[in-house]
């Protein structure tokens, strides 16, 4: 079955096709056994644990109940709107330029509603990539399945990735937490980790409207995060990415809805729009780690 034929199938059937060809990428989140069979619309491990595809073609690959502060449909809709208008475009371009020019298997850690992964797939349409996005938020994954780019989505736990050892060529981690032990386990030989962290000026215009100067959240430093990565991976390459993102009133409203910055107890959302917020600074570091065995 070719790619065009696959696109004509229902989401659940598209996912079944993907799993039929790629079950070796996964391991059981309960017992760690290999996934050995596809039965009807279920993925089954060697010990008999069964994982059923949802109607939207997703898998629940986590061994505990899920409760996330990010399970807010309005948040994910707002994030999609802002990202599709370009908030992360320049950092995504930096990642795409550095991805190997061959067919790859990659995962998007904390993929949210799927826009970054969809943009990467579209820019790499000449390759037969296997792309997987996962998040702990059910609402995010439900929305991600609406993306037109052909990717597979699942609900999974970062601390216990449901992927087999050394099967992933590229890990993409944009402003999400990390589990370096798990990353090391799943990355293939010569695999690459792209981790994006915020710098001091990231969304500083919004931050300064939400908080007073005496509040600790008025400023931000990423030294601890950066030092942890470099300590874990001394070979890390650091690429600064900084640009201005212009806002319309609608984009400014959605930016506020999507960002955890507003969750601080001393945040003052009412102050954000006392005057128009016409742009924000996107200030990030792209950390590139090439696995050396």
Report how far residue 171's alpha carbon sits from residue 16's, in angstroms, rounded to the nearest whole number. Answer: 23
Q: Which of 72, 77, 71 is nearest to 253 (CA)?
A: 77
Q: Which of 242, 221, 248, 230 is nearest to 288 (CA)?
A: 230
Report how far residue 72's alpha carbon sits from residue 9's, in angstroms, rounded to the nearest whole number. Answer: 29
The H-or-E segment that residue 93 falls in is helix 89-98
Residue 41 labeled ligand binder = no
Rounded to 5 degrees, what are φ and ψ at 203? 55, 35
Residue 202 labeled ligand binder = yes
Residue 74 labeled ligand binder = no
Rounded to 5 degrees, what are φ and ψ at 15? -65, -40
Q: Is the dihedral of CA 153, 155, 158, 159 positive or negative?
A: negative
Residue 39 labeled ligand binder = no
CA dist list (Å): 31 to 25, 124, 133, 165, 238: 15, 35, 22, 14, 37
Residue 88 labeled ligand binder = yes
Report how far residue 187's alpha carbon sits from residue 180's, in angstroms, rounded to the nearest whole number. Answer: 10
Binding residues: 45, 49, 88, 113-114, 202
Q: Where is the binding site for Zn(2+), in residues?
A: 45, 49
Query: What residues form the annotated binding site for S-adenosyl-L-methionine?
Result: 88, 113-114, 202
């Amino acid at each position: 079955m070719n790619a065009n034929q696959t696109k004509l199938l229902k989401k659940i059937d598209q996912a079944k096709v993907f799993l039929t060809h790629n079950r070796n990428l996964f391991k059981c989140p309960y017992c760690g056994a290999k996934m050995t069979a596809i039965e009807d619309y279920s993925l089954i491990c060697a010990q008999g644990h069964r994982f059923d595809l949802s109607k939207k073609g997703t898998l629940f690959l986590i061994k505990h109940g899920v409760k996330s502060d990010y399970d807010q449909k309005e948040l994910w809709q707002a994030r999609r709107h802002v990202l599709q208008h370009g908030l992360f475009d320049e950092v995504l371009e930096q990642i795409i330029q550095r991805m190997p020019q061959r067919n790859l298997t990659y995962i998007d850690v904390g993929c949210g509603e799927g826009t970054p992964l969809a943009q990467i797939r579209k820019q790499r349409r000449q390759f037969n990539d296997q792309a997987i996005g996962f998040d702990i938020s059910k609402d995010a994954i439900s929305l991600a399945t609406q993306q037109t780019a052909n990717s597979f989505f699942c609900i999974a736990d970062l601390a216990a990735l449901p992927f087999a050892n050394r099967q992933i060529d590229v890990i993409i981690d944009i402003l999400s937490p990390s589990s370096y032990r798990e990353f090391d386990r799943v990355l293939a030989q010569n695999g690459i980790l792209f981790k994006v962290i915020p710098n001091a000026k990231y969304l500083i215009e919004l931050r300064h409207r939400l908080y007073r100067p005496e509040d600790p959240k008025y400023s931000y430093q990423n030294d601890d995060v950066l030092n942890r990565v470099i300590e874990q991976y001394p070979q890390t390459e650091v690429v600064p990415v900084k640009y201005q993102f212009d806002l319309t009133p609608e984009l400014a409203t959605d930016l506020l809805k999507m960002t955890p910055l507003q969750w601080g107890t001393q945040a003052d959302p009412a102050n954000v729009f006392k005057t128009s917020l016409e742009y924000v600074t996107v200030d990030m570091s792209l950390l590139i780690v090439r696995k050396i065995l």
